[in-house]
Amino acid sequence: MSKKCELTGTTVQYGNNVSHANNRTRRRWLPNLQKKRIWVVEQQKWVTVKATANALRTLDKKGYTQMMKELNS
């Protein structure tokens, strides 16, 4: 299972932990992924998406079909 949002394409980000002594070690920031079942009216079926919490808020505002149009264009 990849750690990628299906709606926005957000993935893992990489960077450094920096200590007080300025020692740098690699780390990564994981996206806040959630699994959600969404009822798609046009298709008359449930669709399960793995999306970030921020994408789910946008999904509530725009709708599933509009977000898929923007993703494909």
What would the pLDDT profile of 11-53 be if each residue is shown by its tens digit?
999 999 999 999 999 999 999 999 999 998 888 999 999 999 9
User: How far apart are alpha carbons 55 and 15 in whole angstroms?
Assistant: 23
Long-range contacts of 29-34 (CB under 8 A, 24+ apart): 30/3, 31/3, 31/4, 31/5, 33/3, 33/5
Global confidence as pTM: 0.80
> Which of 35, 28, 40 is closest to 5 using CA atoms?
35
